[in-house]
Amino acid sequence: MHATRLLLAVIFGLFSVSPSSPEYSIQAIRYASAVNEPVSALVMGAPKDEKIEIAMVFWLIRGGGHDVLFDSGFHREVWFKYFPNTAEYMRPDEAVKLAGVQPEDVTDIIISHAHWDHLGGIDLFPKATVWIQKQEFAYYTGEAWQTGGKHGGIDPEDVQALVRLNTEGRLRLVDGDDVEIFPGIRAYAGARHTFASQYIRVDGNPPFVLASDNCYLYRNLAEHKASATFSEADQPANIKNQERMVQLAGSADRVIPGHDALQFQRFPTVGRVAKIK
Ligand SMILES: [Zn+2]
């Protein structure tokens, strides 16, 4: 009797664990590079004259019937003018095919933040539902364009695309920190890179954290240095978030920085696509 009860307790214990999440695959897709990027623009306090080539990346997460992009790259002409150091560019809807997915098969896009090189590809994936922080959406569709508002690096056409997606029922607002988007994929509120950025953890064996611009390079993690685009007031919060990412991933090796070309060396890579997991 006692043994039976114990057995039942064990079984119910197992089933009371949240429904198991799929074992997702994660691929990094390098749709462009940016050459001669000053490291000091990425890592606080880095020497002014040190330059590196960075990767322009979005990530593909597959599992549980979803083909999810984390960020979407960019394609609008104007940004090539503003950032002439862009190289080896491939449009994100072409680049995604290299990872074995057609653009119309992408079911969802989680946007880390509204900057041009992360949000600018949302209109290339005709069936995708877009997920963005509620405050990020509210700010860039409103106050950002009023007197005193800030909208550096935000493309008005991306904002219009976001509003259009919302009216079409293809936008989901993620409300704050530690929010589950899909079973085993959770969003975390980043510090103020833009108004309300986010990064994600993909559950699994082992788990990974995709940082996007909340951590540009492995060097930010190794040296405990804030990403240089955060205002001085927000840098301590950015460093705290980087520490939290390491905790959430269980290891600094499983935090994937937003623009580090090294992810295409540390993980098995064919052409532009790295298989993180
Ligand atoms: Zn950014």
- The closest alpha carbon to 136, from 108, 176, 179, 107, belongs to 176
Q: Ligand 1: distance of its center to the CA of 193 in Å?
A: 7
Q: Ligand 1 center to residue 42 CA distance, Å?
A: 10
The full set of domain ranges for the chain reads 21-275
Give the contacts of 101 (CB within 8 A, at least 6 positions apart).
Answer: 60, 62, 67
Closest to 221 (Cα-Cα) out of 263, 266, 197, 255: 255
CA 7 to ligand 1 centroid distance, Å? 52
Ligand 1 mean position, distance from CA 21 (Å):
29
* Token pair recorded at residue 223: 């040296």
What is the percent of the chain where pLDDT is above 90?
88
For residue 200, which of 254, 265, 120 has the smallest C-alpha distance?
A: 254
pTM strictly above 0.75:
yes
**Token pair of 152 as six digits:** 């550096």
**Could you tell me which of 56, 119, 57, 50 has the C-alpha nearest to residue 86?**
56
Q: What is the sign, positive or negative, of the torsion defined by CA atoms of 119, 128, 123, 131?
A: negative
Cis peptide, bond prior to residue 236, ω within 30 of zero: no
The SS3 of residue 164 is helix
Q: What is the pLDDT of residue 15?
A: 45
Q: How far is the CA of 24 from the centre of ligand 1 (A)?
A: 25
Decide if 31 contacts 73 (C-beta within 8 A): yes
21-275 topology per CATH: Metallo-beta-lactamase; Chain A (3.60.15)
The model's pLDDT over 160-214, given as tens digits with 9 standing for 90+, comes to: 999 999 999 999 999 999 999 999 999 999 988 899 999 999 999 999 999 999 9
Centroid of ligand 1 to alpha carbon of 1 (angstroms) = 61
pLDDT at 70 over 50: yes
Residue 113 Cα to ligand 1 midpoint, Å, equals 7
> pLDDT at residue 249 above 70?
yes
- Which residue type sits at 38? P
What is the predicted pLDDT for the residue at 228?
84
Mean pLDDT calculated for residue range 130-158: 98
The mean per-residue pLDDT over the stretch 228-245 comes to: 90
